[in-house]
Amino acid sequence: MANVAVIGAQWGDEGKGKVVDWLASRADIVVRFQGGHNAGHTLVVGNQTYKLSLLPSGLVRGKLGVIGNGVVVDPVALLEEIARVRAQGLIVTPDTLRVAENAILILPLHAAIDKAREAKRGERKIGTTGRGIGPAYEDKVARRAIRVCDLAEPETLSFKLDELLLHHNTLLQGLGAGTFEKQALLDHLLALAPQILPFAEPVWERLDQARRAGRRILFEGAQAVMLDVDHGTYPYVTSSSTVAGNAAGGAGIGPHAVGFVLGIAKAYTTRVGSGPFPTELFDDVGKLLGKRGHEFGTVTGRPRRCGWFDATMVRQAVKVGGIQGLALTKLDVLDGLPELKICVGYDINGKRFNYLPAAMGAQAAATPIYETMEGWSGSTQGARTWGALPAQAVKYVRRIEELVEAPVTLLSTSPERDDTIMVKDPFEG
C-alpha cells in the first residue's frame, strides 16, 4: 500500500480538510509538511465543526499527528488551538501529537513586521494574513531563526535574540512601528518552553521507523500549488513550497516515500486576498457561488472571490505539483445552474496561452477562453455513487478530467465526511 500526499490544485480553500479527514481513517500517521497558522482546514463531523490551522487533520480521527520541520510554528497559536479542540473533546497530548524539533518558531516580532510591511504597500497589498509566516521563513533562510529545539537552551535563545532584534528592530523603526525588548521576548519563550518541548522530537526518525514497518503515512499540504512561492502567481503567493515534492523535505523523509499525490480542486474556483484571477465573476452567479459554498476564509474570515472552473490553471498545477489524481469538491454548489463555463485557455494581448505565464503583467492581462456546458436540474448533494448523479453532472466531471489531464479519484458532494464517491483508492498507489 502506498503513502498519500494531499495538496491543493488551485489557490487554496479547496476542501482539503474534509478529504484528509476522510483518508485519515485508513492512515496511521498524518503529517503537516509546510505553511503555518495562515492555513485553515474545516472539518464537519456530525454536529461538531473543527477549524484547524496548525494541527494535522488526522487528530480528529484519533491518528498520530506530526508537525514537520517545513512548518513554521507560532507556539502561542499552537497552544491555543490545542486548548480549543480539547474543549471540543479531542485528545491532544504528546502521545498523539509530535512536533519536529528543528521546526522554526514564529515570534511576535514576525507578525509585527508582516503587518507593518503590508500597511506600507497601500494599494499594492499582496493579501498576507499578517501572522508572521513570511518573515519567519525569511529568518530560516537567513540562518538566524529560533527553532523548537532552542527552547531547551536558554543561552542559545539569548544570543539568537540579539541577532534577531538587531535585524528586526531596525526594520520596524524604518517602517514606523514599535520595537521589541530582548528580555521580554526571552521571558516569553522561556515560559512557553515547558509547554512546547514535551511535543518535540526528531520526527524524521519516527517517520523512517513507520515507513520501515509498513505503516501508512498521509502527508497534508496547506494552501495550494498556485500559491507556491516558486510556481504560483508570484508575488501573490504564500511563503513556502506547496507542491508534493516538498512533502519529503518538509517532513524529513525520502522522496520515494511520498507515494500517491492527490490534488484537491473545487468544481469551480475561489481565491482569498489579492492577485490575478482570470475566471473571477462579479455578477449574480459569482455571488451565488459564494453564498451556496459558504465561501469565507477559515483563518481570515475574508469573503472568497468566486469564479468558473479554470481547467488551464489546474492542468498547470497537475504538472508542476506532480498530481496523479484529483479529488473534486463542492460539485453540489453548481446544482441547478442552467449553464456552466470552463476556462480552456487564456487570451493575453491577442495571443492564446495554454498556461498562466510567470510575469505579473501577463497574469493581470489574462482573459479566459471559455467552453460552455449545459447544467443539470437534479441534485448532487450527498451522492455517494456515480449512479446517484445527474447525467450532465457526470459529463461535467468527465470533461474536467480530459482538460486537466488527470483522473478524478474522489468526488465530494457535501461537507459531510461520508458524502464521498471513491473512484480509486489513493492508498493503492
Please tell me if the domain spanning 104-196 has the same topology as the one spanning 266-428: no
CA distance 194 to 349: 58
pLDDT at 120: 79
Note the pLDDT tens digit of each residue in 186-208: 999 999 999 999 999 999 999 99
For residue 60, pLDDT beyond 90: no
Q: Would you tell me how many other CB atoms lie within 10 Å of the CB of residue 183?
A: 9
For residue 269, pLDDT beyond 90: yes
3 state DSSP class of 145 = coil
| Residue 66, Cβ density class (10 Å: 0-12 exposed, 13-18 middle, ≥19 buried) | buried
For residue 271, pLDDT beyond 80: yes
pLDDT at 342: 98
Cβ proximity of 329 and 264 under 8 Å: yes
pLDDT at 299: 63
Q: Residue ranges of the domains in the chain?
A: 4-99+199-260, 104-196, 266-428
Q: Is the peptide bond before 415 cis (omega within 30 degrees of 0)?
A: no
Distance of CA 383 to the CA centre of its chain: 26
Confidence band for 298, pLDDT divided at 50, 70 and 90 = low
Note the pLDDT tens digit of each residue in 143-176: 999 999 999 999 999 999 999 999 999 988 888 8
State the average pLDDT over residues 267-283: 94
- Which residues are tagged catalytic? 13, 41
Note the pLDDT tens digit of each residue in 12-50: 989 887 788 888 888 999 999 999 998 777 777 777 888
Mean pLDDT of the chain: 92
Note the pLDDT tens digit of each residue in 250-264: 999 999 999 999 999
Task: Classify domain 104-196 at the CATH topology level.
Answer: Adenylosuccinate Synthetase, subunit A; domain 2 (1.10.300)
Confidence band for 414, pLDDT divided at 50, 70 and 90 = confident
For domain 266-428, the CATH architecture is Alpha-Beta Complex (3.90)
State the average pLDDT over residues 99-111: 96
Does the domain formed by 4-99+199-260 have CATH 2.60.200.20? no
